[in-house]
């Protein structure tokens, strides 16, 4: 038996704003291997005060399950009301609270990683979510606002007291952005300090990295973000590698964009289809040496059909290279 089956490790698609919508999750699901999907972050205020039936962020696919909803905000009462509302008409597998997003605007509102400075309030948010659902409630964290492992431990302890069922750690401090390598040793620190499941995240760029992360930290699962944008089939490859030590070859460079164009048309409202396709291409094209140049050309084309036609030309003689699938900024 492989490490996947024996130890019930889970493989998660990371929540990524503007990117892990229903169409992209379906693309990932179609390639297989992912065992837990997350939505992009959902603003609790929007869920409470707008009509969820008309909210494009709440569209779900057919194969993107189990699907956990990631919530972002600040007021425990709004988290409670949002979860109550979602429980009434959606079939999410559980709820995740975003304590990790380090974007300027999010931090200015006091959301995301800014809440790591307020463990009392963060615990109240977890308790408010727990009170309104019997489903799993998880939290996604960075290392902290600054790099302070003792504070990280205290923060997690507060969330555990409030009832959190699982933690995902992206081990970089807010002030570090993506500038330094993820500190996987902090994933191990949490795993050793607490008995709840810990999902490891950060800098998994291929199947070999996933195995190294599992083995070096003892974590209960792996969450992959950017490399899944470059290779939506990465979960299939990780699962195969963990099961049998090898993985299939990559699909042709055009396959994923062709599928994605169909999926955005099926799942997203017309006003978002081209924007979301383009946003994903920014990442996908980083598989190729001249990807940013290709992206500049694709951006100038208007309409999905025109973008696809140009892609067919640009990618005709390209191939997907071996892992690791690193985004440009890290090469």
- Interface ranges with ligand FMN (CB under 6 A): 14-17, 19, 40-41, 70, 98, 100-101, 140, 170, 201-204, 224-227
Nearer CB in complex with ligand FMN: 110/254: 110
279 or 314, CB closer to ligand FMN?
279
Q: Identify the CA nearest to 206 among candidates 247, 171, 259.
A: 247
Work out whether the CA dihedral 297, 18, 235, 23 comes out positive or negative: negative
Q: Is residue 39 within 8 Å of 64, Cβ to Cβ?
A: no
Which one from 12, 34, 65, 101 is the annotated catalytic residue? Answer: 101
3-state secondary structure of 180: coil
Which of 35/254 has CB closer to ligand FMN? 35
Tokens for 189, please give them: 């620190």
Rounded to whole angstroms, how far apart are CA atoms 198 and 213?
12
CB 83 within 8 A of CB 74: no
Residue 254: phi and psi, rounded to 5, are -85, -15
Q: Which is nearer to ligand FMN, 124 or 203 (CB)?
A: 203
Catalytic: 12? no
Closest by Cα among 72, 39, 30 to 58: 39
Neighbours of 180 (CB within 10 A): 11
- And the tokens for 132? 């309104």
Quick one: which of 12, 52, 47 has its CA closest to 227? Answer: 12
Q: 127 vs 182, which CB is nearer to ligand FMN?
A: 182
Catalytic residue ranges: 101
């Amino acid at each position: 038996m492989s490490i996947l089956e024996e130890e019930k490790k889970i493989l998660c698609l990371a929540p990524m704003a503007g990117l892990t919508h229903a169409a992209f999750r379906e693309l990932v699901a179609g390639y297989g291997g992912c065992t837990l999907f997350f939505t992009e972050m959902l603003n609790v205020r929007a869920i409470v005060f707008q009509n969820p039936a008309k909210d494009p962020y709440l569209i779900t696919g057919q194969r993107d399950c189990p699907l956990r909803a990631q919530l972002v905000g600040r007021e425990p009462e709004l988290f409670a009301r949002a979860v109550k509302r979602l429980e009434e008409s959606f079939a999410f597998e559980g709820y995740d609270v975003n304590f990790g997003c380090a974007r300027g605007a999010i931090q200015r509102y006091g959301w995301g990683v800014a809440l790591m400075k307020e463990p009392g309030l963060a615990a109240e948010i977890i308790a408010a979510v727990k009170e309104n659902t019997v489903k799993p409630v998880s939290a996604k964290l960075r290392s902290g606002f600054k790099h302070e492992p003792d504070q990280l431990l205290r923060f997690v302890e507060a969330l555990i007291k409030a009832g959190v069922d699982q933690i995902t750690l992206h081990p970089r401090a807010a002030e570090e952005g993506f500038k330094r390598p993820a500190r996987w040793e902090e994933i191990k620190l949490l795993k050793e300090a607490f008995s709840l499941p810990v999902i490891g995240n950060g800098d998994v760029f291929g199947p070999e990295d996933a195995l190294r992360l599992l083995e070096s930290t003892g974590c209960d699962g792996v969450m992959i973000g950017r490399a899944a944008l470059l290779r939506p089939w990465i979960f299939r490859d990780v699962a195969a590698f963990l099961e049998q030590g090898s993985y299939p070859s990559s699909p042709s460079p055009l396959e994923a964009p062709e599928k994605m164009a169909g999926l955005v048309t099926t799942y997203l409202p017309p006003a978002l289809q081209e924007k979301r396709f383009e946003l994903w291409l920014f990442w996908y094209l980083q598989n190729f040496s001249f990807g940013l140049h290709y992206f500049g050309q694709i951006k100038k084309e208007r309409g999905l059909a025109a973008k696809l036609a140009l892609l067919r030309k640009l990618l005709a003689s390209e191939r997907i290279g071996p892992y690791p699938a690193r985004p440009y900024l890290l090469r």
